[in-house]
Every structure is written in structure tokens, then in C-alpha cells.
Amino acid sequence: MTLIDLLILLLIAGICGSLGQAIGGYSRGGCLVSIALGFVGALIGSWLATKLGLPEILPVRIGGTGFPIVWSIIGAALFVAVISLLTRRRV
């Protein structure tokens, strides 16, 4: 994987993480948090898809590494929803 491949992968993860935050309705942090949420969402979403026997939808191959776009967004939204339920809202 080259540096360009890594930067493209980080960009896609950031977009997926920010979409997950928008769907989950809880936004905390900036660009780095969105990138981390994109990767965590990909892990959670892919794990959930394999447990339920669902196919990989819209995978993107970057430098031989696959990144599941749809499962990343779904996993990030689920992760953000759980975090928003566990944390208190400040008034």
C-alpha cells in the first residue's frame, strides 16, 4: 500500500464516519474522530454482516485492501447511537 492509497483510504473512512455521525444524530469531535468512526464502523458492520450472512455491499478496493462502504456507514451509525445513549448530554 502506497502513501496515496493510505490517504484515499483515510478520506473514504472519514466520509463514512461523518455520514454515520449524521445518521446516529450525535456529533462529537472533528475530522480525526470521523476517520476513527469510519474504521470502527467498518469493523462492526463487517462483523455484523458476516454473523447475519449478508453480502458485502459496495466494496471499494484500494491497493489490494477492501473497504466496505455501506457496512462502514451502518456500523458507525450503530456505534454513535450506542455512545450517545451511554454519555450524558450537557446542558
Q: Coil, strand or helix: which one is 42?
A: helix
Check: CB of residue 10 under 8 Å from CB of residue 63.
no
Predicted local distance difference test score (pLDDT) of residue 53: 93
pLDDT in tens, the chain (91 residues): 789 988 988 899 999 999 999 988 887 778 888 999 889 999 999 999 999 999 988 888 888 888 889 999 999 999 998 888 888 766 6
How far is residue 33's CA from residue 54's CA, in Å, rounded to a whole number?
A: 27
Check: CB of residue 64 under 8 Å from CB of residue 22.
no
